[in-house]
Chains A and B, each alone.
Chain A
Amino acid sequence: MAANQTKKDEQVCCVKLQETDLGLETMAEAPLIKGVSWEIGSGEFWVVGGMHRSGKSTLLSTLGMLQKPLSGRMELFGVNPWGADGANLMKQRLRVGMVFEAGARLLHKLTVLENIALPICYHRDCRLDEARERMDELLKFAGIEDLTNELPGELSRTYRQRVNLARALSLSPEVLLLDNPLSGVDLSEQQWWQDVVAKLWQGHAISGNKPMTIVIVTNHLTPWVEQGRNFALLHDKSWRQIGGMAELDACDEPWLRDVLGERKMTE
């Protein structure tokens, strides 16, 4: 335990939330999640489980700096991204990649290649052909080399999801946020995602061989339950940080069965 604490202290804290209430700014009086206090260390793997409408996407949007916490304090890499200097927000966003649910939010008028290249070309001010080498790496990593000229509307949900991943990785972020990546994909595709996320966490050439910090929100925890990962739950507007796999197994919340599915029931 003490060793774990020392290891944690040595880690750089990527994200820190202190007593934050999360939700829509237009409905500030009715937060979706209350009292989130959470520290995500560099290189950690977090899986947050919750049923539909429990605020998972809101939590992820807050971590991705698309939504401001309604109250409390938030820090990313030791900096308040919502501080007075707007440049901070942009700088911090470059360090976080987001994979949206169901392969959504790709730019519908751009091809697969252009979607993935856009962040690189925009931030490095280069033409598409100048970013070609990085593009090829990303396309190969996501297994979508043959789809470069397709429009997102012509792709199945499975491939749109992969394009989303390639786009999120294009700027080599340090933190990768995934919103329900296994939702609506078949079993072989689920395996692909589990393998790919595990590789990224351990450090892969696509992210400069550096282990990435991973945060997944899901309504089905079981595929992600493995040693070395951290778990938290969202239920009834509240946040509950569980801990590792042992703590998850020991957790006796009756509604945990809903997000664990067959795993908890077979025990």
Chain B
Amino acid sequence: MERKHEGHEAASYKTYIFTWTALVLLAAATIAVAELHMGAASIVVALLIASLKAALILYFFMHLRYEKWFFKLAFLLPILVFMFSIGFTFLDVLYR
């Protein structure tokens, strides 16, 4: 019914190439950070950088930026399910 594709006017070759540059720089950063041997903090930093990369891919490459509220909101559901699943599993593992 909706033939028009919402919001694609904003996407351009330039946006995508900037996104890719940022992704490559972040990939380099995560390798560089690993060389610093920060111990326990390194996993946190690695996951933060990975999540930032994932967010860039989702937001620009996967067009989440241009989508309706449903997509943005619904996306939180699997993340919440995963967080709770891992959190409750750790309630067992941590205190066993």
Whether A and B are associated in the same complex: the answer reads no
Please list the residues of chain A having a beta carbon within 8 angstroms of any beta carbon in chain B.
none
Please list the residues of chain B having a beta carbon within 8 angstroms of any beta carbon in chain A.
none
